[in-house]
Amino acid sequence: MKKEKKIIIYSTPTCIWCRKAKDLLNQNKIRFKDADVSRDHKAAHEMIEKSGQQGVPVIDIDGEVIVGYDEERIKERLHRK
């Protein structure tokens, strides 16, 4: 049985690229945690610690961080065992 990946998307409600990342995961029925960094200051700090970035989206897939919406890289990480 394949272990489910732990995915966190650090996002804001107004970010179109964040929405695209979430849509991509939802279309593929992949569960993720949506961390709204505009409201959750702890999540914002965590995002900056992980990525060194303040811009969103930041996507953490099993500890591998992707900054920005990079569809190919996201898909690659999702299919890695």
What confidence tens digit (pLDDT) does each residue in 2-61 have? Answer: 577 899 999 999 999 999 999 999 998 999 999 999 999 999 999 999 999 999 999 999
Residue 68: pLDDT over 60: yes
Residue 81 domain flag: no
Q: What SS3 state is found at 8?
A: strand
Q: Is position 2 within any domain?
A: no
Look up the domain containing 16 and give its range. 7-76
Q: How far apart, in whole angstroms, are the C-alpha atoms of residue 16 and residue 21?
A: 9
Q: How many domains does the chain have?
A: 1
Q: Report the distance separating Cα 54 and Cα 34, nearest Å.
A: 16
Residue 25: inside a domain: yes
- pTM, entire model: 0.91
> What CATH number does residue 19 fall under?
3.40.30.10
**Residue 80: per-residue pLDDT:** 64
Residue 1 located in a structural domain: no
